[in-house]
Amino acid sequence: MEFSRRNLLKAGAVAVTSIGASKIALNSDVAEAKQVDSPTYKIIPDKVERFNQQNTMFIRALWDKPYMKRRATLKQRELDLEGELDTIALNYAGWWRQNLAAPFSSFGIVGASPLMRWDDKIVEMSVKNAALYSKKGLKPTDNPLNFDDKPAEFRYKATPEVLSEKVKNAAKFLGGSIVGITKLNPNWVYTNYMDMKARKIKEWPKDPAQFKYAVSIGIAMDYEAQRDITSYNASASTGLGYSKMAEVSSAVAKFIRVMGYPAIPIGNDTCQNVPVAIDAGLGELGRNGIIITPELGPRVRLCTVLTDMPLKPDKPIEFGVKKFCENCKKCAYACPSGAISKDPQTDKGFNKSNRTGIVRWPINAEKCFDFWHVNRSACNVCVGVCPFSKRADIWFHSIMPDVIGTADSSLINRFFVAMDDLMGYGARKRLKL
């Protein structure tokens, strides 16, 4: 047998992971992400309020004149049209459906219009099916499935368990990869919305925080595209995720509304998808400011459907992400803009685009968004280098989620990071494009 550094580390992996495996055998309920009674993030009482949507980074680029002026001075990288045309084409194709939806939405997602489609007609009546209602003395305009923000008279009635199962099955059938349900925390709903046509912040015509439940849906992002972090392919994967968010969230909302209950689809507007997804048990918050899921790591795009359909909430989960991120820091070292903190968690922020009162690793949104401008496209470096992003068929990554959840110290976590570096899955150094 040829002895090399790789073989030595692989042999060491067997020894180290056997420790985790033995723990799993002794305590099988920790082999998968365990359910917990409350989310793993920490909130400072009396410091968390609903966030003003105008302070989100994308919206600030439309009204914040000091920021807009400074951003205009940034020099974009030179464009190699001949050498990059293929990935540019894929990038435009990925974003196509999402951008197509933009004129009909508050921020580029179908169904997230200022009126939030409360008055959407679920079943369009026609002369052909009008006879179905004449027996009940109803006119076509009296369609019982046409409703505003109250459940329809002829709604589908079942237990919350049955309704939840049907919604989850529908979400996956319609294109979702992972699905969870939670009671809606009003703190995650924006205080207002951006009227993109008028370029003004306006009050909600009806406050979406009144909804009782949130269905959180994760859309898987392509694995290979995330590894290609120096081309437009990663941005194309992001755009495709946004496009699918528009399609899937709208379709799931339509499913719920046809079942007879109010529902609105949400992309990156109306409410904050990451804390909703954490509450719904899809994963934990990582150092990169993105949700880390057991199935896909941070390689996921999130959309939400708010509804009053009586559902059964899922519990949050925990599988060792916080402890792992404390030791890893690969995303922080690799971030081209230096937007990811290497410091301990805090409830403070870098600028007005950060919320306060929530203990986590804050992201400097201005630096991150500036780099998007400089790079001419979205950046997915923090997703591509994250060890949790890797495919399950890579032997040491396939056991990583189970083992790190059993670790009593940082030894196993540091081992996985070292293995990830050795195998060439992103280095601990600043990536320059």
Q: What distance in Å separates the CA atoms of residue 198 and residue 216, rounded to the nearest whole number? A: 30
Give the per-residue pLDDT at 26.
33
pLDDT band at residue 140 using 50, 70 and 90 as cut-offs: very low
Mean of the per-residue pLDDT values of the chain? 79
**At residue 340, does pLDDT exceed 50?**
yes
Short-list 220, 232, 192, CA closest to 208: 192
Give the per-residue pLDDT at 406.
57
Give the per-residue pLDDT at 392.
64
Give the per-residue pLDDT at 272.
93
Give the per-residue pLDDT at 185.
96
User: Which tens digits make up the pLDDT trace of 84-122?
Assistant: 899 999 988 898 877 765 533 433 333 333 333 443 333
Higher pLDDT, 388 or 129: 388
Token couple for 190: 């924006």
Give the per-residue pLDDT at 196.
67
215, β-bridge pairs:
181, 305
Contacts of 6 (CB under 8 A, 6+ apart): 422
pTM for this prediction: 0.83
**At residue 188, does pLDDT exceed 90?**
yes
Contact 355, 51 (CB under 8 A): yes
Give the per-residue pLDDT at 169.
98
Average of pLDDT values for 345-372?
Answer: 92
**At residue 300, does pLDDT exceed 70?**
yes
Domain boundaries, the chain: 32-389
User: Which tens digits make up the pLDDT trace of 50-68?
Assistant: 999 889 998 898 889 999 9
**At residue 214, does pLDDT exceed 50?**
yes
Q: What distance in Å separates the CA atoms of residue 418 and residue 423, rounded to the nearest whole number? A: 9
Give the per-residue pLDDT at 432.
58
pLDDT band at residue 260 using 50, 70 and 90 as cut-offs: confident
Token couple for 118: 């409360």
Token couple for 150: 């109250």
Alpha helices (H) along 78-190: 81-101, 131-134, 160-173
CA distances from 274 to 41, 135, 195 (A): 11, 48, 23
| Residue recorded with tokens 């008279």 | 153
First-to-last CA distance in the chain? 40
Higher pLDDT, 115 or 347: 347
Give the per-residue pLDDT at 266.
87
Short-list 262, 274, 269, CA closest to 306: 262
pLDDT band at residue 431 using 50, 70 and 90 as cut-offs: low
Lowest pLDDT segment from 33-42, 115-124, 318-327, 358-367: 115-124
| Residue recorded with tokens 């570096």 | 421
Token couple for 363: 């992201």
Instruction: Give residue 59's identity as a one-letter amino acid code.
Output: I
**What percent of the chain lies above the pLDDT cut of 70?**
74
Give the number of other Cβ atoms within 10 Å of residue 121's Cβ.
13
Q: In what order do the strands lie in the sheet with 263-266?
A: 178-183, 213-220, 300-307, 263-266
CA distances from 39 to 23, 240, 246, 295, 307 (A): 24, 29, 27, 18, 21
Give the per-residue pLDDT at 293.
94
